């Protein structure tokens, strides 16, 4: 019984873990996936994105968000892109035989503004999470790990034991099986020994007649009741 309960518990532990995620949980997972897909540092946390520590106050988070948001304003992005191209053009003029960079086209400026706008939107969502009640939930996943998207839902990755764990499990199961087999063989040998000993003792006491007088003999029939006079 104990072995069955242990087996069921082990199978449950090794199964992929899932939960009924709330709307807020899914929003946290979605933003984290966007960070992994679009940010230079795919492993950046929400705190890293704002450049603050994990224990930062709401005021520190708000100040950091506003500072980064100013650099992501469309006019700021356009001016920065033009300045970078002008600097690159100036540097290339100093090197003979190097093609001079052209100013950014409107298409390139729009693409840069789009990237900055998307990043600013993510930062706004991150700021809202870290400044509200969902921060505790995010910190929980940050400490214990995030589930991964598996086609239809977010699941924790299945536990995959290493070679050492597998060998330990094999030895544990095999050792338990051999232990029970050894116990059974020992019990069987003891039973056979006791049966042989009883047979030998009976043979020594009463010869080939293996019945013990007074014990194995058939009981005498009870006398018939006397007839009434």
Write out the residue range of the structural domain in which residue 188 sits.
160-209
User: What's the predicted TM-score (pTM) here?
Assistant: 0.57
The pLDDT tens digits along the chain (229 residues) read 444 444 444 444 444 444 579 999 999 999 999 999 999 999 999 999 999 999 999 999 999 999 999 999 999 999 998 888 888 777 666 555 545 568 889 999 999 999 999 999 999 999 999 999 999 999 999 999 999 988 888 988 755 555 666 667 776 776 677 777 888 888 888 888 888 877 777 777 766 655 555 555 556 566 666 665 4
Tell me: do 150 and 54 sit in the same domain. yes
- Please indicate, yes or no, if residue 214 is contained in any of the structural domains: no
- Please indicate, yes or no, if residue 227 is contained in any of the structural domains: no
Tell me: do 145 and 170 sit in the same domain. no
* DSSP secondary structure code for residue 52 in this structure: -
- Using the structure block, give the residue that is written with the tokens 């899932």: 18
Tell me: do 166 and 107 sit in the same domain. no
What's the domain count of the chain?
Answer: 2
Contact call for residues 119 and 97 (beta carbons, < 8 A): no
Query: Half-sphere exposure of residue 81, counting CA atoms within 13 Å on the CB side?
Result: 22
- Using the structure block, give the residue that is written with the tokens 């001016």: 79
For residues 223 and 113, give the distance between their C-alpha atoms in angstroms, rounded to a whole number: 118
Query: Would you call 187 helix, strand, or coil by DSSP?
Result: helix
Contact call for residues 109 and 78 (beta carbons, < 8 A): yes
For residue 14, give the nearest of 26, 22, 6 by alpha carbon.
6
């Amino acid at each position: 019984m104990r072995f069955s309960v242990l087996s069921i518990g082990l199978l449950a532990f090794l199964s992929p873990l899932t939960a009924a995620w709330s709307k807020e949980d899914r929003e946290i997972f979605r933003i984290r996936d966007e960070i992994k897909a679009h940010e230079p540092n795919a492993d950046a946390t929400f705190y890293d994105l704002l450049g603050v520590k994990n224990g930062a106050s709401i005021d520190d988070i708000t100040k950091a968000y506003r500072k980064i948001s100013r650099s992501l304003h469309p006019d700021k992005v356009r001016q920065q892109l033009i300045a970078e191209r002008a600097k690159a053009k100036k540097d290339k003029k100093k090197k003979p035989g190097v093609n001079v960079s052209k100013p950014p086209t409107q298409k390139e400026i729009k693409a840069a503004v789009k990237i900055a706008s998307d990043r600013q939107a993510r930062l706004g969502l991150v700021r809202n999470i870290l400044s509200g009640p969902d921060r505790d939930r995010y910190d929980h996943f940050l400490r214990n790990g995030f589930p991964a998207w598996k086609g239809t839902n977010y699941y924790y990755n299945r536990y995959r034991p290493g070679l050492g764990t597998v060998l330990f499990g094999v030895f544990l199961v095999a050792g338990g099986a051999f232990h029970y087999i050894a116990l059974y063989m020992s019990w069987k040998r003891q039973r056979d020994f006791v049966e042989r000993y009883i047979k030998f003792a009976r043979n020594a006491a009463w010869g080939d007649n293996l019945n013990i007088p007074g014990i194995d003999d058939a009981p005498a029939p009870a006398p018939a009741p006397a007839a009434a006079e």
